[in-house]
Structure 1
């Protein structure tokens, strides 16, 4: 059975990082945070969301925290002038009330105690600050993974135990809303964010599953070559292809936001 690994930034980018950027852009438009704010990206990974904040939100400063040293190295190399450090979402290395915006992209479901993490988001927020996150809709809306696990389970029923749709019940509107409300955040709202995921051909679809980053690629890496080939061939028959060979799917994430109690500080204070 595959072992889930999160360390190789380049492999992660090829797998889902490229789609995360499209979701991040829509997510940030929804947040519509004024310029000049201090941001914290929790579970920053390779820096995809951080880079979008720098490009489009005119922040005063952005910091990223992730438990993976490999991802933090990747983010530091390509996301200046943000600052990054290795850290735990359940014990953020920041003082109380020190940032205006806390965001987390595609990471909250991997935290062993997500309620504790969201409580930390609320702790480090300044009055009226914004806490927001998005996670993949693994159960039905992240089509590339849905096709993969459906086929994998047909060939190997034991693979179903690795399916993120089963493992992460938090990745749905009501569980996310409950986390935010229970952390004391206000005006909580949840919405779907859907983006196209277009692959040039089946090789473009399949190759990222060979990178070893995440549950599905980890599972592929664990297979003997005949089993890997059988999975590849069954997937090639299953995923819908256009006449030109391209594969056009969609990826849906669930996004949640809420605000801390209190009055907003003046810009730059």
Structure 2
């Protein structure tokens, strides 16, 4: 099974909408002055880019992502003329050095095969004194909608544990994030938590996004045959009930200065 990142609308229904809530807290936390030039690496469907446009009064923002499908959704959703979107690799940004006041990334750095190479690029394209920052889900503990999913999945199929983001992404903890940022030569590094409510009116509202196939959990669900997927659904329903389902999601946010 491989992670799938292609259908922007399905990703929005799964976690894109929750990323928007985190971004609304993350952007003001950065304290970037108005009229700055921003770069959003791993911009996905444009959740973080849209928050910058609304909250930070940027002069411009460039979004870069490796998924053409996600970029198509971003271009449709974010039509502000200050925003541009390009296909690209976080490890090899085809952008000028020392060009951006703020280089940011939302829910993406842990999926880059070489995060150290990506951070080197983030620092390269940031201006001296510029902000380099990101946020990732606390997969192991605080991202409850995913934690409940994988707890149910491993009950039905113990082999599912190897796909669990909490097991796969050691980076998504404060100490590894701090080490990654300082290792890229950034100073004044700070790591903090951002917690948001994730409320589902019914169990169907919780379950349906997992059928979209975008990201590790949904990709795992859709890799199952129908009887095993039904068993997973029923195990989740027994744990969460019919609704409303009131959960929380925690992200780790990190920022530093070039």
Say yes or no: TM over 0.5.
yes
TM-superposition CA deviations, 1:5-31 (whole Å, max 9, x none):
100000000000010000001111211
Counterpart in the other structure of 1:67:
66
Counterpart in the other structure of 1:31:
30
Counterpart in the other structure of 2:251:
253
In structure 2, what is the Cα distance between the partners aligned to 1:127 and 1:160? 42
In structure 1, what is the Cα distance between the partners aligned to 2:225 and 2:125? 47
In structure 2, what is the Cα distance between the partners aligned to 1:258 and 1:175? 14
SS of 1:22's partner is: helix
SS of 2:191's partner is: strand
Q: Number of residue pairs matched?
A: 256
Counterpart in the other structure of 1:234:
235
- Deviation at residue 158 of structure 1 after TM alignment: 1.1
**Where does 1:133-172 land on structure 2 (aligned, <5 Å)?**
133-172=134-173
Gaps of 5+ in 1: 261-269
Counterpart in the other structure of 2:76:
77
Counterpart in the other structure of 1:265:
none
In structure 2, what is the Cα distance between the partners aligned to 1:141 and 1:11? 23
**Where does 1:189-204 land on structure 2 (aligned, <5 Å)?**
189-204=190-205
TM-superposition CA deviations, 1:110-145 (whole Å, max 9, x none):
000001101111000111000000000000010000
Gaps of 5+ in 2: none
In structure 2, what is the Cα distance between the partners aligned to 1:238 and 1:93? 47
TM-superposition CA deviations, 1:123-170 (whole Å, max 9, x none):
001110000000000000100000000110111111111000000000
In structure 1, what is the Cα distance between the partners aligned to 2:15 and 2:77? 17
Query: Does the Cα contact within 8 Å between 1:199 and 1:248 map onto a contact in 2?
Result: yes
Counterpart in the other structure of 1:267:
none
**Where does 1:45-194 land on structure 2 (aligned, <5 Å)?**
45-80=44-79, 81=81, 82-194=83-195
TM-score, normalised on structure 1?
0.94
TM-superposition CA deviations, 1:41-94 (whole Å, max 9, x none):
000000000000001100000000000010111111111221001000001111
In structure 1, what is the Cα distance between the partners aligned to 2:130 and 2:5? 30
Query: Does the Cα contact within 8 Å between 1:240 and 1:248 map onto a contact in 2?
Result: no
In structure 2, what is the Cα distance between the partners aligned to 1:127 and 1:33? 14
Query: Does the Cα contact within 8 Å between 1:9 and 1:46 map onto a contact in 2?
Result: yes
- Deviation at residue 34 of structure 1 after TM alignment: 1.0
Counterpart in the other structure of 1:8:
7
Counterpart in the other structure of 2:210:
209
In structure 2, what is the Cα distance between the partners aligned to 1:133 and 1:4? 21
